[in-house]
Amino acid sequence: MEHPPADPNLNLEIFSLGKRSIASPLVRYKQGVSFIRDGRRMLMDLDRDKVREALDKGQEPPSLELAGPRDKIYFDPTKTKAAIVACGGLCPGINSVVRSIVLELHYNYGVRNILGIKFGLEGFIPEYGHELMELNPEVVVNIHGRGGCFLGMSRGPQDIEEVVDAIERLNISLLFTIGGDGTLRASNKICAEVHERGLKTAVVAIPKTIDNDIAYVARTFGFDSAVAAATQAIASAHNEAISLPHGIGLVKVMGRYAGFVAAHATLALAEVNFCLIPEVPFDLEGDNGLLAHVLERTVERGHAVILVAEGAGQNLIGEGELKKDASGNVLLHDIGIFLRDRIKDYFLKKGISLNLKYIDPSYMIRSVAANPIDRIYCGFLGQHAVHAGMAGKSRLMVSSWNGNFVHVPLEVCTKGVKRVDPGGQLWRSVREVTGQGRLISG
């Protein structure tokens, strides 16, 4: 996997609102609570040679602050008002994160004033007319078994000053944001405006994306559930393909800039013969292009299964500037439809019969309920987000990194995206499983 480089010059310190002077309510647990001191940090890169290189240069290897409860907290729970907002598109596990935050705030910290912001950042803007939701354990007790987002979500930039106006008007002390790279950038802008106004509001982000492409996160929540759902679509495509003469199953999954879902689903089921991702270019035409290989495979073995990430092969489809959605994401050409039609035309020109079934389960995948592994992970993320916020830490994203939960400054995690490394172990394993080789002619 490729993350932006762990630059020794990055400022990885976590911003704090002020001195922590209130004993944590968690001290009532005589056993089982290990408080974390702020000096504890985890190395970003565990490669011995890179650590040694930094030390030889007299530099401290880049490290991230360890997440977890602090023995002293900043906010008085009896006077704290928290708010939770989810933005962007659906992803398995959002409800589990919300539930975890609410239960941790209510039961372990004694915070009784928790608001749910409806339909993303729109919920802060009066003109949209979205009502606030009061959250407590009774409201969220069963939501973790559902798909979707019971708070509602929306895309699109909102006026940050208006958002902070609402935060100030509502006297919100803690804001938890759940979302992808756009939400992380918006959270960073909210922090800047909050600081400019001198407000004592902590902003803690929980990274969300099915694509698993957020920098400095080992695995985003919902990814495991998405891969599991994708394998069901692949299994259906394989069953269709083997049940018909010259059968081809073509499946498109999410992955705008990174092919992690496609790569992992390929490895999980091992029924895929061609896996196409944005990070690895491929040709259609020519002796070594995709069409020739698909034809050869189908004629020799009687069937083929093709899995393509939505961002793959965009250079093969049309020209001109692409439009963007409300969140600023590029509206991609539909690679699934494009490949379906091109494969059919190619077989027809070769005079070979074809039974091709195209499956696009994208919206089914992102709206399913989180599986048990993701629910557990979401629980950890929600708890650590609360620990950070109650300690007065802000401008951060809670992340899983090298086997630990850590705090990553928002300024750092928004500098780039994580992608599949074409020369790395993951893609090598995919090529070994599929046997597809290098689909580039010439």
Give catalytic residues, as residue numbers: 211
Phi, psi of 200 (to 5 degrees): -100, 70
CA-to-CA distance for 193 and 163, rounded, in angstroms? 10
Give, for 308, the enclosing helix (H) or strand (E).
strand 303-309
- Crossing angle of helices 223-242 and 260-269, in 10° steps, is 60
CA-to-CA distance for 396 and 412, rounded, in angstroms? 9
Beta-carbon contacts of 69 under 8 Å, excluding residues fewer than 6 positions away, are: 24, 26, 33, 35, 36, 387, 391
Neighbours of 328 (CB within 10 A): 12
Report the candidate in 152, 123, 102 with the shortest Cα–Cα distance to residue 378.
102
CB 244 within 8 A of CB 353: no
Tell the residue number behind the tokens 């509001």, with chain if given. 201
CB 341 within 8 A of CB 284: no
